[in-house]
Amino acid sequence: MKKSVLLISIMLILFTCSKDNPTKPEDNTPKEDSSFFFPLTVGNIWYYYEGDHTEATQSIRVWESFTQDDTTYVLYGNKASIADTLFQDRWGRVYNRFGGKNLLWLDFSAEDGETYQYTLSEKLDYTVTVTRMQTVEFHNQKFEGCIVFEFDVPNISTEEETIVLAPDVGIVKRQGAWTTRYLKSWEFK
C-alpha cells in the first residue's frame, strides 16, 4: 500500500512538472534592460508609409503619460483619443492595457526562437515567436540587431502580424494580413 501511494505521488509530481505552464513575465527576469528597443518617451514621433507609397505618411506618437496604481502608462498611437495604453516595465518589456489588464505585448526577455502567449480573448489567443539579431532593409534604409515578434492565431489565417523593432528606434516595420507599414523617419525628444 505504501509503495502504491508513493508511486502515485511521484507520478502526480512528474505530471505537474511536465505540464506546459506559461511563465509569468515577473518570474522570467531579463538579464538586461531592453527599453532602448522601444523608446516610449512623451513627444517621440514615428512616421510610417504603406507599401510603396513613400510620399504618404502616418504619424504614430507617444501623446502623454499618466500614473495609475503606481504604474506609469503612455498613450501611443495615431490619435490620443484612440491611442493604445502601454506600460514599459523596468527591463523594457511592453504591456498593452486591454480589458482592464496589462497584457505582455513585446517580451524583450524572450530568447531567440522562444514563444509566449498574448491573449486578447478566447478567439484571439496569439502565439508570439521571437527572433533576435535580424537585419532589415527596405527603401534605402538598413536596420541591424533587430528583434522580430511574429504573432499568430493558429486557427485564423488573417490574424497574423509581424512587428520588427530596431535598437534605439522602435518599430521599423509592421506587417499584417492586409498591409505593411515601413518606418520613414522619426523625431525623438
Per-residue pLDDT tens over the stretch 67-101: 998 999 999 999 999 999 999 998 899 999 998 89
Q: What is the layout of strands, in order, in the sheet containing 94-98?
A: 101-106, 94-98, 84-88, 71-77, 58-68, 45-50, 180-187, 170-175, 161-166, 141-152, 125-138, 115-119
* pLDDT value of position 158: 81
Q: Which region, left, alpha or beta, applies to residue 134 given φ > 0 means left and ψ of -120 to 50 means alpha?
A: beta
Which residues, including other chains, have CB under 8 Å from residue 148's CB and lie 6 or more apart? 130, 131, 132, 134, 162, 163, 164
What is the percent of the chain with per-residue pLDDT over 90, rounded to a whole number?
66
DSSP, collapsed to helix, strand or coil, labels residue 162 as: strand
Distance (Å, whole) CA 75 – CA 81:
9
Per-residue pLDDT at 28? 57
CA distance 103 to 105: 6
Which pLDDT value is given to residue 111?
93
**pTM of the shown model:** 0.81
C-alpha distances in angstroms, 115 versus 56, 81, 121, 181?
A: 35, 32, 18, 24
Instruction: Indicate if the pLDDT at residue 5 is higher than 60.
Output: no
Least confident of 40-44, 56-60, 145-149: 56-60
At 15, the amino acid letter reads F
**Cα distance between residue 19 and residue 17, in whole Å:** 6
| pLDDT (mean) for 5-9 | 37
